[in-house]
Amino acid sequence: MDPARHIAVVTRRFPKVSETFVLFEMLALESLGMRLSIHTLAPPSDAIRHPDVDRLRAPIELIQPASPGAILRRALRSPWRTLRSLALAARDLGTYRLSGWREAVALADTTQRSGANALYAHFIDRPAAITRIAAALSGLPYAISAHAKDIYLTPPAQLRRRMRDARFVTTCTEFNAGHLRALCPEARVLRTYHGIDPQRFDAKRPVSTTDSIPLILSVGRLRAKKGFDTLIAACAQLAMRGVPFRCEIIGYGPEEAALQQQIGRLGLASRVTLLGKCSHAQVLQRMAAAAVFALPSRIEENGDRDGVPNVILEAMASGTPVVSTRISGIPEAVRHDATGLLVEPDDAPALAKSLQQVLADPALARHLADNGRATVLGRFSREKNILPLASQLRRLTDAAPQEIAYIVKGFPRLSESFITNEILQLESQGMALRIYTLKGGEQAAMSALDSLQAMVQRVPATSSLSATTLRRWLLANGARYAPAMARVALRHPWRFARTLLAAVRMMYRYRKTDAQAAPRKTFVKEFLQAAWIADSVLRHAGVRHLHGHFCHGATTITWFISELTGLPFSFTAHAKDIYQADLNPGDLLVRKLQAARFAVTCTGANHEHLLGSAGPVACRGLHTVYHGLDVTRFAPPAARGEDGAPLLLTVGRHVEKKGFLTLIEACHLLASRGLDFRCEIVGEEAESTPAMRALIARHGLADRIHLLPPVPQARLGAYYERASLFVLPCTVLANGDRDGIPNVLAEAMATGLPVVTTPISGIPEIVEDDFNGLFVPSENAIALSNGMARLLQDGALRAKLGHNARQTILEKFDSARTTRRLRALLSCEQEPMSA
């Protein structure tokens, strides 16, 4: 245990049988060496007590309102903080403002006496309100764990105030996280599943309908949001159909009498039983006996709802198939027809049909049970989910947390997995990051967030600027940014005015060459976005450096933030952003290079181009750092799956610079020569897709060439394993756009695949012709078909090139090594110097 890191946990009632997730979180944090104390606003009310409470080392203290003497001492010692706390209570506590303020005074006194370093509130309603006031009194940082009812029954204005002042907010579902991020974009919101300990749940074979009368089990507080009345109605329909079953509902609550009356009214007394309150051990026993677990949750009229109920995860971990409803975070665990069955809330016939399906089909029950347990093991284990939370709480207790703020255009994105990998590597090397994204990420890439410790904050969305005038755009979008701009202007008026003036000047300085051309409005938009991020950086102390990815818009914003805050900045330049002149008109890129503490680019070719165009003075702080990749994730398979015709693989967005039209023409030539092959093009559809489809159809290649949708980076390994060779005939466009060193090329080489590609941009830095790959000229289908044919017909050459390709990646592109250099730059461990 680290006695220097003491976190005071504030709850509304502890311990509580129906909130064991709080107890288990505390135990998991203690197992990681964290020192806790628990402060509860109300005493326990349960007649039974969870046995694991006795395992807690943390003291549990009931918060009693501060006495008049304690209040007087507090006021004399800290008059300004006391007045401010009264103002917060008057605004945030409603009719409980006086009693709640006295509780906050008592909490502040207790935590300061005990030497707590930070406060952590469970539930964003009253506990978070008291914690916020206590933080104002004590000067301690605080964080919030938000759950379900506390989110949706609390007025949005109160939620925003509590979230905005918190160092971070964690919540138990991605659904909740999205809701909270939309409500308060400037808040740092982390999704942390409560998780369970799968080892406490024995996987078992679903009960066969021939063994006994099958048991339908449900567990939860007897409240309207659990949908138990729908379950009872579904049981009535099963009974009418002659389906053998019995149903047990474990729990207590205000709906008990009404549910008991419903059971009697429907003649189900011999089939449906309300068991009342049971111990956790008794619940697990019943789960082990159940043929199916049902929880038909609903959203109440007042907005109250479940998150991902722990009982669903426990049932899945027990190997019991689950039937539930499509609300809130439940579909994050229960995927229809995969890890369970889902119906709409309040639909008793659909629920009855799904229950009957599971009871009547042992194979389906087995399928759902196996997949459900695998999902819990993979995504919902407490051990996996507690680590990011523990990391954030440790950072909360740091006296002066030091973070690097990353500014990116969109995050996460499948086509920019190198940024995600870079962040993961930096975190693994002990660096604390915060990510600001100008746009939302791609849904298919969201799984990458599970491995990150960094908070991801999205700048408020805006309408299109190009389609309207600047004045109309400001009227439509300015209100979203006005509070942040006002706070920055009040804090640093001179910096704010100077940076705004610089943005306005850029509008005119970098407009198109025609003197009558309209000003470039985008610089004003970027100033607003920069002011929003600057406000967040200033309000949450700890950022000491800014880093932009891509040297056009994101770096312009990073530069503005640097001017507004006084923090140093750096940036990474990639490919299109360097070579496409209109993205950095005039001398804009040179000015960025001169203003940055250092800059990084990902290929030697880019470095030479920038040195030639910007000059050695501007490039004195320019470094070449390859992106690299995880060589343990991308490794040669034990046996390459080459069943059937040889597979030609390529990966990338359907854009012209990838050369996919040339590849299709080359495949046509291969087919004309009678060579057997298949070709898969894996990637996101874009502007070249219609032409690609048309060319495939014209050459009659629909049975040979398949356009497949994009997949997360973690799933690309399976594609590389079954491929015979990797083909990427990149080209340079007329406007200068080109690839650097495509990550997918490096990934393929790391798995031992021979590659056929073109000698453009940074590719010759990774591929040597006839040593670890083959080069063909760009936009030359004949040469490309000859290169592919040569490899298809020569297995020894394929093996040689593949072996050498793997060795090249190990020597030059292992991200564990390449990222160390970037870390040294960001950490100021070496002075910026040209590479």
What is the per-residue pLDDT for 835? 35
Dist. CA 445–CA 420, nearest whole Å = 10
Question: Is there a single domain that holds both residue 657 and residue 535?
Answer: no
* Order of strands, sheet of 725-728, starting from the edge strand that comes earlier in the sequence: 705-708, 678-682, 647-651, 725-728, 755-757, 774-775
Contact 715, 742 (CB under 8 A): no
Question: Is there a single domain that holds both residue 489 and residue 536?
Answer: yes
Nearest to 591 by CA among 641, 551, 623, 633: 551
- Rounded mean pLDDT for each run of 10 residues along the chain, 835 residues in total: 82 90 94 94 86 92 94 91 90 82 95 93 97 94 94 94 92 91 84 85 53 90 96 97 96 95 96 92 90 96 90 94 95 93 97 97 94 89 88 78 88 87 86 90 74 84 90 93 95 96 95 76 96 91 91 97 96 92 92 95 91 86 89 81 84 95 97 94 95 96 95 86 95 89 93 96 94 96 96 94 94 86 79 37
In a domain, 386, yes or no: no
What is the per-residue pLDDT for 6? 94
Provide the residue range defining the domain that includes 569.
400-624
Q: Identify the three-state secondary structure at position 36.
A: strand
According to DSSP, residue 518 is labeled P
Distances (CA, A) of 341 to 264, 357, 389: 28, 10, 30
Distances (CA, A) of 784 to 183, 745, 763: 52, 16, 16
Question: Is there a single domain that holds both residue 697 and residue 797?
Answer: yes
In a domain, 384, yes or no: no
Q: Identify the three-state secondary structure at position 549.
A: strand
Q: Identify the three-state secondary structure at position 727.
A: strand
In a domain, 389, yes or no: no
Q: How far from chain centre, in Å, is Cα 593?
A: 31
In a domain, 819, yes or no: no
In a domain, 383, yes or no: no
Q: Which amino acid type is present at position 483?
A: P
Q: Count Cα neighbours of 275 within 13 Å in the Cβ-side half-sphere.
A: 18
Question: Is there a single domain that holds both residue 417 and residue 556?
Answer: yes
Dist. CA 568–CA 693, nearest whole Å = 48
Number of separate domains in the chain: 4
Dist. CA 721–CA 761, nearest whole Å = 27
pTM over 0.85: no
Question: Is there a single domain that holds both residue 436 and residue 316?
Answer: no
* CATH code: domain of residue 311: 3.40.50.2000
In a domain, 532, yes or no: yes
User: What is the Cα Rg of the chain in Å?
Assistant: 30
Question: Is there a single domain that holds both residue 218 and residue 85?
Answer: no
Question: Is there a single domain that holds both residue 519 and residue 548?
Answer: yes
Question: Is there a single domain that holds both residue 536 and residue 663?
Answer: no
DSSP string, 251-278: --STTHHHHHHHHHHTT-TTTEEEEES-
Question: Is there a single domain that holds both residue 132 and residue 46?
Answer: yes
What is the per-residue pLDDT for 614? 86
Nearest to 191 by CA among 10, 38, 379: 379
In a domain, 459, yes or no: yes
Dist. CA 363–CA 420, nearest whole Å = 39
Question: Is there a single domain that holds both residue 349 and residue 423?
Answer: no
Which residue, 170, 191, 212, sits at the end of a domain? Answer: 191
In a domain, 832, yes or no: no
Question: Is there a single domain that holds both residue 175 and residue 310?
Answer: no
Question: Is there a single domain that holds both residue 218 and residue 300?
Answer: yes
